[in-house]
Amino acid sequence: MSAPRIVDRERYLERIAEVRAGTSARQVAYPIKVREIEVIRTAMVGSGLVRLTFGGAGTAGFEAHSPDEHVRLIFPEPDGTLRLPAPNGSMLSWPKPFPTTRKYTVRRYDAATGELDLDFALHGEGIASDWARTAEPGMTVHIAGPPGGLIVPHTYDRYLLGGDLTALPAIARRLEELPRSAAGWSFIEVADASEQIELAAPENFEVRWLRPGELARAVQEVEIHDGERVFVWLAGEAGALKPLRRWVRDDLKLAADDYDITGYWRRGAADHDDDHDH
């Protein structure tokens, strides 16, 4: 579902509206910028996520249109050098070798206040989660993106959302942004009940909190009626998603535009990049 990059803002906003009013999900690109943003507050979201709220001049004009869109946080190299990409029209030219970056879902952007929320999973150790643990108001970081997002129409009969703690910010945002009449299922793996959070799910959504290793079985037990149009969105540890990729393709036989499965991380890999299947 790759999409040509649309430079003119009016054109890509029209494209987003067109896809939302249609019948199938599509990737829509929007111009990428590099921004320096400032931490203005921090808060725990359950026991597993820390939310950093950013502001400052760098968040002005931020583009936010899709619950699973992401930004890249750009970190200094071990020698302290910060290597930023250069603007290249509506895209970016990245230095080689590629800088140290990590992708994070845009949890919320408020155009009126300029506030941008990113939620960081605190499981394990990593350059981004370690930074987020110690972040304080006044600290700054550079971000690039979002490069676009998956626009999902509100015309499906049901929505099946699932993932682990790293997918929770995107699931939470999608549940908030779906029409209140939407129906479906949401399955989230967490370590224990302390990681569960309040979700603004539509009334006809079944929300189930699972323990590690339970996602694949729970998802495959849903009952989808003949003739129902279902959109499936799954994300988390890449290896755990393998059986679900096969299930969506071979058993549900969904069209490529009716699902999105993304490996957000891979066990044992510190710098795994997203592994998409759609």
Q: Which residue has the higher pLDDT, 124 or 18?
A: 18
Which CATH number is 153-277 given? 3.40.50.80
Specify the domain boundaries for CATH 2.40.30.10 within the chain.
9-148
Q: How confident is the model over 236-251, as a mean pLDDT?
A: 95
Cα–chain-centroid distance for residue 227? 29
pTM of the model: 0.93
Characterize the bridge pairing of strands 100-110 and 70-75.
antiparallel
Q: What is the rounded CA–CA span in Å between residue 4 and residue 255? A: 21
d(CA 94, CA 112): 31
pLDDT in tens, 56-107: 999 999 999 999 999 999 999 999 999 999 999 888 999 999 999 999 999 9
Give the H or E element holding residue 77: none
Q: Which CATH class is domain 9-148?
A: mainly beta
pLDDT category at 270 given cuts 50, 70, 90 is low
- Residue span(s) of the chain under CATH 3.40.50.80 come to 153-277
Length of the chain: 278
Report DSSP letters for 21-36, one per residue.
Answer: TSSS-EEEE----EEE
Instruction: Please say if the pLDDT value at position 9 is more than 60.
Output: yes
* Contact between 260 and 167 (Cβ < 8 Å): no
* HSE value, Cβ hemisphere, 13 Å, CA-based, for 182: 24
Average model confidence (pLDDT) across the chain: 93
- Grouping H, G, I as helix, E, B as strand and the rest as coil, residue 143 is strand
Which token pair is 195?
Answer: 């990681």
State the Cα torsion 54-57-59-63 to the nearest 10°.
Answer: 170
Dihedral-angle region of residue 80 (phi above 0 means left; psi in -120 to 50 means alpha; beta otherwise): left
d(CA 151, CA 155): 12
Rounded distance, CA 218 to CA 213, Å? 10
The pLDDT value given to residue 273: 58
Measured CA distances, 260 to 57, 216, 224, 236, 276 (Å): 34, 15, 17, 12, 7
Q: How far apart are CA 65 and CA 49, in angstroms?
A: 23
Distant-in-sequence, close-in-space partners of 275: CB < 8 Å, separation ≥ 6: 238, 262, 263, 266
Burial class (CB in 10 A: 0-12, 13-18, 19+), 208: middle
Give the pLDDT band (50/70/90) at residue 266: confident
- Which residue, 194, 141, 150, is CA-closest to 173? 150
